[in-house]
Amino acid sequence: MLYEQIRTGGCLSYLIGCPETCAAALIDPELHQVDRYRGLAARHGLRLRYIIDTHTHADHFTGARQLARIFDAPVVMHRESPAPFADLRLEDGDTLHLGDLRLVALHTPGHTRDSMCLQVDGALFTGDTLLIGATGRTDLPTGDAEALCDSLFHKVLPLDPATRVYPAHDYKERSSTTIGEELASNPRLARRDRTAFVEMMRQLNLSAPTHLTEALRTNMSGGKTVDQLLADSAAVVPFMSLAELHGRLQRRANDFVILDVRERDAFEQGHIPGARHLPRGQLELRVNEAFPDPTVRILACCEFGKISTLAAATLRELGFSRAVALDGGVKAWRDQNYPMETGPAP
Ligand SMILES: [Fe+2]
């Protein structure tokens, strides 16, 4: 039933499926692994039927929306999910057919209001409700320690002790556990008393996850991460290497324009010799007067090589079909001790 556990740092996602029918589901997919999921599904000959998020993640970027589009499968979440892109909203006890498998949703609020565990074939995918030797935290948006206590002690832990538990996180390279093992050794489950449990959760004092605001923004809205925006641009823009540019400058090639899109003070402190200056924020405003000829080859550059990728993509969209971006940016150029000029643009 379980085909793959896919690890992204401490985040775990799962590819499960019915061996008879090849119907499959992805649980808690991570955005950066989209190509890997495609590859794994193809390798195992699986048809993805459901893309499931066990809850609104605050610490990583969900790949559900992109995968749903790629596989033409619905995004499945709990009814309480704020995500506008959730196509199929489950309630407690709802069952999904996955070929011959039956996937049962248990609403287990606490880590978030929309948390659910998925029970299938003697296994339980617990999201962040129950982790190996820990539980999900309850101090992030919609977290509720009392609800987590009820979910754990009244829904999850009464299940068959032999149930294999697959959590959405583990930071110590462990892959699974069982209900019985957690009952015996999980320190957070030591005190069943509600008040004591809530007090323990309050005192955990955990640091905020990295990317918290960006993860919540994108996972709750379906919007893109900054990395995605850059990757989308990088996918449609060719790059020029620093060495290639250096060679061109040495040959005094004049068949292209270097366009520095940083702010004025950065440009004046040091730029690539001969570069023209047009800040990214003014690109659309001044492009017509700056570049009347759309066949000109423009090399966009910026400090780190990221904003210039966006600029080159914009230029291409505007019809400058030969626009390219410098691979590495002015900082990398400077670090290589390639020549620089200072002062205002001519
Ligand atoms: Fe989480």
Mean pLDDT in residue range 69-97: 96
Instruction: Report the alpha-carbon distance of residue 12 to residue 32 in Å, rounded.
Output: 12
Span from the CA of 27 to the centroid of ligand 1 (angstroms) = 13
Span from the CA of 164 to the centroid of ligand 1 (angstroms) = 20
Mean pLDDT in residue range 15-20: 96
Span from the CA of 162 to the centroid of ligand 1 (angstroms) = 24
Q: Is the pLDDT of residue 346 over 80?
A: no
Q: Is the pLDDT of residue 291 over 90?
A: yes
Mean pLDDT in residue range 48-67: 95
Q: Is the pLDDT of residue 2 over 90?
A: no
CA dihedral sign, ordered 235, 237, 241, 242: negative
Span from the CA of 163 to the centroid of ligand 1 (angstroms) = 21
Instruction: Report the alpha-carbon distance of residue 13 to residue 5 in Å, rounded.
Output: 6
Span from the CA of 107 to the centroid of ligand 1 (angstroms) = 14
Q: What confidence tens digit (pLDDT) does each residue in 234-261 have?
A: 999 999 999 999 999 999 988 999 999 9
The predicted model scores a pTM of: 0.83
Taking all residues of the chain, what is their mean pLDDT, rounded to a whole number?
95
Contact indicator for 1, 18 with CB cutoff of 8 Å: yes
Span from the CA of 326 to the centroid of ligand 1 (angstroms) = 38
Q: What is the pLDDT of residue 191?
A: 83
Span from the CA of 307 to the centroid of ligand 1 (angstroms) = 31
In the sheet that 324-326 helps form, which strands lie side by side, from edge to edge?
239-240, 324-326, 298-301, 257-260, 276-277
Q: What is the pLDDT of residue 244?
A: 97
Q: Is the pLDDT of residue 282 over 80?
A: yes
